[in-house]
Structure 1
Amino acid sequence: MKLLKPEILFVSHKYPPATGGMEKQSYELIHGVAKHTKVHLLVYRKDEQRLLSFFIGLNRKILQMLRDNPDIEVIHFNDGLIASMALFHKGYEHIKKVVTLHGLDVVFPLRYFQQKIIPKFNKYDLVITVSHATAKEAVYRGISATKIKVIANGVDHQIAEQPEVTLEQLTVKYPILQSKPKYFITLGRPVKRKGFSWLLDHVVRELPNNFQLIMLGPFNKKPKWTEKMLRLLPKKIYHIITLFLGYPSDEKQIRQLLKNPQIAAKVVHFGKVPFPDLKALLANSTAFLMPNIHVPGDMEGFGLVCLEASLSGTLVVASSTEGIIDAIKDKKNGILLPSSDKEAWKRMINELLEECSSFNEKKISYQNYSRAHYSWDKMAGEYWDVFQELLNQDEESRSDVRQLKLNKA
């Protein structure tokens, strides 16, 4: 079968200079596919316009882009929010349309969205999900399984390079490492599903005093006025708004737990650190912990941060839940534990404290597995393949119809 080489229009409101996992995925996807064919962009850049005006003018901009570039054959929408808006567009029904779903954009707990919007995603020619967990949730909500293709996210291999910051430099900058050189790491925004407060409350509290946890990522040590205002809302509305905004819903409880002497003696929160420091902290850590828990209306679409930790050369210990299991394969590039099982987590951490050296060889093999099986180029190549297959299937169908007409004649 001769594969077509279509031009692709990428539409996304998640794109640099904004930072985040979805922004990174969008950037790498577009530039990766550009290695195979001509691509066009309609992306939101926060330094150029307001988000609302981007959405309001999107239908008009897409039609103008199609008029200016008549060889565009596929439009890709890079998440469920922008794809929801595009369901109401007019004028380009003849173009093949693809949407990528990441997790929260499937399970977001707004009744109208769940009942009226998600099932309409069947109007798209193809639905790509970043994990099998996201695909399962999409099917459960009425999206046809025949329309879904799972393509895992990639990961930046730069984090696997030798850290520029030495261990000695780390101990000078972060003196806590001098007294407790064996340390564990958590990394990420303090949202409930990450399980940080669960880990502190149910696991760290009961660990021996030689345990040291370093928490990394954005963190407000004092409550902001927005937190105080949001807390005045009814619980259901608070949950929906904080999910939509990606608000740090676990921050208040983490602050409270860090005031407990049993916990505070074993935990320090560094907040956001420079990337060279992050690489060195991960590479020299005993293990990276990702203790995700189930939160209704939310989910971990894909465990990208687990892959980054694995590539850095540390041991990944993560919850066996949701999209994490697409990123971490148990005993291949990390260790998976039952979510919310405090006894299993305590046993694993204690084993690492007592027999840390026995896991060093596993770290190397796990890093090699992640390096071999996950990359942005691999992800972009899989997208490119499905774009071609989508158009070739359509071309084959048209050929079959033409042949049928000829046979009848």
Structure 2
Amino acid sequence: MALADQPRILLVTRNLPPLIGGMEKLNHHIFLELGKRYAMAVAGPEGCASYLNAEAATVATFPTAPKSAFVMGSIRAAWQMGMSFRPDLILCGSGATAPAGFLIARRLGIPLITYLHGLDIVTSHVLYKSIFLPAIRASTTLITNSSNTARLALAHSIDARRLHILHPGVEMDVPEDIEPAAFRQAIEAGDRPILLSVGRLTERKGLYQFIVNCMPDLVRQQPDILLLIVGGEATDALSAKQGIGIQLTETIQQMNLASHVKLLGRIDDARLSQAYSASQLLLFPVLDLPGDVEGFGMVAVEAAAHGLPTVGFAAGGVPDAIAEGVSGYLVPPNDYQQMSKTILRYLSGESQISKDSCKQFANAFSWASFGEKLSNIVSPLLKPNDLLPITEHP
């Protein structure tokens, strides 16, 4: 069957390039993977069309800020594309676009899928709870990015019969000519053991607490240790505390850790691959905050794809992204003493995880596998079918 004769899917999401982050990468791959099987259209953020290689007639855009312009713009764009493209199914990339997806799905009498992340459930804003959560609950099918997000969804009265767990994917085609030695030379790291943190600078990532509670002890016992922090402020997020970078810089200076902690800011994918390959451990000391939760932990799987293990707190959806003793180590939340001990044991060689073990774990999360599992969720909705019970797609 020609692609033009295939069922039509409209992806409605705020999270696409040119915005940067794990959710943006996820939604981009949702578009790419479903596009192999179905005819696709998008209602997405301004500037996304050039990243999608899609026909202009199948993309409608909206502003991402301020919040009021985003909400109204997403509804207009979804309605415009829905009425012109006439999809057979709507897929919302997060709860933030669920109202827009719900309105056009109801108008056309077609199924609605919403992909849920941790913040889609725990956000406490009154208007969100009164407008967005009802639209989420009205979805024909819901996908969560981790088992923890699924538990949160069930606790917020979302029907288990409509729920699937599908973890985000990872790029397994790691370049062979990464040259980690060149990266070390560029940052003047020499042979020092490198701890790496990757992600947007948000309070939830727990870097301030890690520096305060762990770095002094790590430096005492491993005087040449170096922490590299990759990522910038979450300026594109709908709600995120700003100024984390300034707070970290001031704390590093006050604690005389400038020779042990470096903030690299945002770097491109090629240099990030170098950073993964040049490091000894990825750190993921995330916090469970009121109204904020780590939905999954894609960077831990990305690190594993490069053969790099992760030490992280077992908070939020992180346990789905780290296999104990296989791709890293899980530490009880907020146990900084155990976090330091685990890092030092690994650096000393007392405990080891092989690169092959990490890569084998990551392979189960390949984007190709993700696409197959997502298609298995989508396809029953494109023909009459009973609701399926909650299903995990590891």
Provide the TM-score with structure 1 as the length reference.
0.81
Distance in 1 (CA, whole Å) between partners of 2:83 and 2:130 is 34
Distance in 2 (CA, whole Å) between partners of 1:250 and 1:354 is 31
8 Å CA contact retained: 1:9, 1:42:
yes
Cα distance, 1:132 vs structure 2: 1.1
Alignment of 1:81-100 (within 5 A): 81-87=96-102, 92-100=107-115
8 Å CA contact retained: 1:29, 1:376:
no
The verdict on how the C-alpha distance between 1:387 and 1:212 changes in structure 2, with shifts beyond 3 A counting, is same
Distance in 1 (CA, whole Å) between partners of 2:106 and 2:237 is 33
Q: Which of the pair has more CA radius of gyration?
A: 1
The verdict on how the C-alpha distance between 1:210 and 1:12 changes in structure 2, with shifts beyond 3 A counting, is same
8 Å CA contact retained: 2:75, 2:100:
no
**What does the per-residue CA deviation read over 1:67-92, in whole Å, with 9 as the maximum and x for residues that have no partner?**
5444x321111111111344455862
Distance in 1 (CA, whole Å) between partners of 2:348 and 2:92 is 49
Bigger helix fraction: 1
Q: How many residues align?
A: 365
Distance in 1 (CA, whole Å) between partners of 2:283 and 2:129 is 32
SS at match of 1:155: coil
**1:363 maps to 2:355:** yes
SS at match of 2:127: helix
**What does the per-residue CA deviation read over 1:241-270, in whole Å, with 9 as the maximum and x for residues that have no partner?**
x97333445334322320134533422222
The counterpart of 1:56, out of the listed 57, 72, 76, is: 72
Partner of 1:164: 178
Distance in 2 (CA, whole Å) between partners of 1:343 and 1:54 is 43
**1:299 maps to 2:293:** yes
Cα distance, 1:161 vs structure 2: 2.6
Partner of 2:12: 11
**What does the per-residue CA deviation read over 1:349-398, in whole Å, with 9 as the maximum and x for residues that have no partner?**
11123217x62x52321222212x10122222222111112344x3569x
SS at match of 1:378: helix
The verdict on how the C-alpha distance between 1:292 and 1:81 changes in structure 2, with shifts beyond 3 A counting, is same
SS at match of 2:330: strand
The verdict on how the C-alpha distance between 1:91 and 1:366 changes in structure 2, with shifts beyond 3 A counting, is closer
**What does the per-residue CA deviation read over 1:18-75, in whole Å, with 9 as the maximum and x for residues that have no partner?**
22211211111111011112222222224775346664355555455445444x3211
Kindly, what percent of the aligned residue pairs are identical? 23
The counterpart of 1:141, out of the listed 118, 136, 156, is: 156
The counterpart of 1:121, out of the listed 126, 130, 136, is: 136
Cα distance, 1:108 vs structure 2: 1.3
Q: Which amino acid aligns with 1:23?
A: E
Distance in 2 (CA, whole Å) between partners of 1:323 and 1:113 is 22
- Where does the alignment leave 5 or more consecutive residues of structure 2 unmatched? 49-60, 388-394
Partner of 2:263: 269
SS at match of 1:114: helix
The verdict on how the C-alpha distance between 1:250 and 1:87 changes in structure 2, with shifts beyond 3 A counting, is same
Provide the TM-score with structure 2 as the length reference.
0.83
**What does the per-residue CA deviation read over 1:320-350, in whole Å, with 9 as the maximum and x for residues that have no partner?**
1111112212222221111210121111111
**What does the per-residue CA deviation read over 1:3-32, in whole Å, with 9 as the maximum and x for residues that have no partner?**
x96321111222222222112111111110
RMSD of the TM alignment (CA)? 2.8
Distance in 2 (CA, whole Å) between partners of 1:7 and 1:377 is 20
Moved more, 115-124 or 315-324: 115-124
Distance in 1 (CA, whole Å) between partners of 2:366 and 2:294 is 19
The verdict on how the C-alpha distance between 1:38 and 1:275 changes in structure 2, with shifts beyond 3 A counting, is closer
8 Å CA contact retained: 2:105, 2:111:
no
Distance in 2 (CA, whole Å) between partners of 1:200 and 1:38 is 48
**What does the per-residue CA deviation read over 1:186-223, in whole Å, with 9 as the maximum and x for residues that have no partner?**
11122111110111011112222232212222269xxx
Distance in 1 (CA, whole Å) between partners of 2:73 and 2:192 is 54
**1:189 maps to 2:200:** yes
Cα distance, 1:299 vs structure 2: 0.8
**1:339 maps to 2:333:** yes
8 Å CA contact retained: 2:306, 2:355:
no
